[in-house]
Amino acid sequence: MSPMFNFDAEFRLGIDLVDREHSQLVDMLNHTYELLSAGRRAEARRYFEEALTDYIAVHFADEEAFLEEIGYPHLEEHRRIHEQFKQNFATLKPRIASEDDAAFRQALNDAFTWLLVHIGKADRRYARFYAGQQKES
Ligand SMILES: [Fe+2]
Ligand SMILES: [Fe+2]
């Protein structure tokens, strides 16, 4: 079973800690997908609701600490976007909990899309700020 998505160079922001964590999140979504495809739905559900959900919180906290460290001027806005993301993510639960594999798969697809849109837009915005800062110093 091939993964849904390979962490492409396009999503690399050039900040090691952040790139490692983003790549880990993509791997975890792929892993959930693989468990589901292998017919291990209960395990996939637990993995999604526990390991993956916890890791998202860890990543957001690490990222916000980094943004604070570099004095990112849009930190508060980014925090709000993370909060909204977690809330959206929580709305996937009923579909993950359903007996319907297609609904589960669709929820994973949505999670992928949200994650990639977040990295590609909001996270890329602070990466540009950081790159500019590095150039000046
Ligand atoms: Fe991020
Ligand atoms: Fe972020």
Q: pLDDT of the chain along its 137 residues, tens only?
A: 445 555 566 688 999 999 999 999 999 999 999 999 999 999 999 999 999 999 999 999 999 999 999 999 999 999 999 999 999 999 999 999 989 999 999 999 999 999 999 999 999 999 999 999 998 87
User: Are residues 64 and 18 in contact, defined by beta-carbon separation less than 8 angstroms?
Assistant: no
Q: How many structural domains is the chain composed of?
A: 1
- The verdict on residue 82 lying in a domain is yes
Full residue range of the structural domain in which residue 129 is found? 14-136
- Say which residues have a Cβ less than 8 Å from residue 29's Cβ, sequence separation at least 6: 4, 5, 52, 108, 111, 112, 115
Ligand found nearest the CA of 82: 2
- The verdict on residue 4 lying in a domain is no
CB atoms inside a 10 Å sphere around CB 89: 19
CA of 39 to the centre of ligand 1 (A): 30
- The verdict on residue 51 lying in a domain is yes
- The verdict on residue 31 lying in a domain is yes
| Ligand 1 ion: Cβ-proximal residues, 5 Å cutoff | 63, 123
- The verdict on residue 109 lying in a domain is yes
CA of 119 to the centre of ligand 1 (A): 6
Ligand found nearest the CA of 22: 1
- Comparing CA positions, the residue from 66, 80, 86, 82 lying closest to residue 126 is 66
CA of 112 to the centre of ligand 1 (A): 13
